Amino acid sequence: MSEQDYLKDISEIKNLMNRSSRFISLSGLSGIFAGLYAIVGAVIAYVYLFPAPGEFITLRSWNFKLLVALLALVAIFSVVTAYLLTTRKAKKNNEKIWDTTTRRLLLNFLIPLVTGGIYIIIKINSEHYGLTAALMLIFYGLALVNASKYTIGNVKYLGYAQIVIGLICAAFPGYGLWFWILGFGIFHILYGSIMYLNERKS
């Protein structure tokens, strides 16, 4: 066996090991849809639920309850869409949708996300609303970066972008909705589009 063949075999073995330890069926379309859902949800919130200038949303107001319900709907639609599209892609590629790698990915994704969610609820209960959007972006970005070691692709860069946007959002209070749209909406669509184009090429 020549040195070139030997190096080629090593490269193939490395790729096989990498693929077996990472989740590879994430769909680019799921990112696009998640971004669209986020933008639609933000527009609905801005038009119908946000208070007029000089007014505030309280924890006991109907607007706050509807806002929480709207956020939950956006999250549910995004998760269900991602599951359906990812399952379809996995079946197409003859891959398992639920295995040890998937469980590790979800665990590493949920730890920062749930921690952030609990912290945000504590802040809201203390009537500290100002950094809500920033904290959502930062903890979501941390969750993506933490889970990226179990995915094939550049999801960690989306995570870095969310963290940076969240930090900038924290520095400019009063513009949380717009940074939220930028992070959860536009950047999801951009990332999903790039991922989808790469899928089409391969």
Instruction: State the chain's maximal CA–CA distance in angstroms.
Output: 77
Q: pTM for the whole thing?
A: 0.83
What is d(CA 77, CA 5) in angstroms, rounded to the nearest whole number? Answer: 48
Q: What is the mean pLDDT of the chain?
A: 83
CB count, 10 Å around CB of 38?
25
Average pLDDT over residues 3-21: 48
Q: Supply 77's token pair.
A: 């639609």
Domain borders along the chain are: 27-201
Distances in Å between the alpha carbon of 168 and those of 20, 79, 165? 37, 27, 5
Average pLDDT over residues 75-96: 84
**Residue 63 CA: distances (Å) to CA of 17, 147, 163:** 50, 34, 28
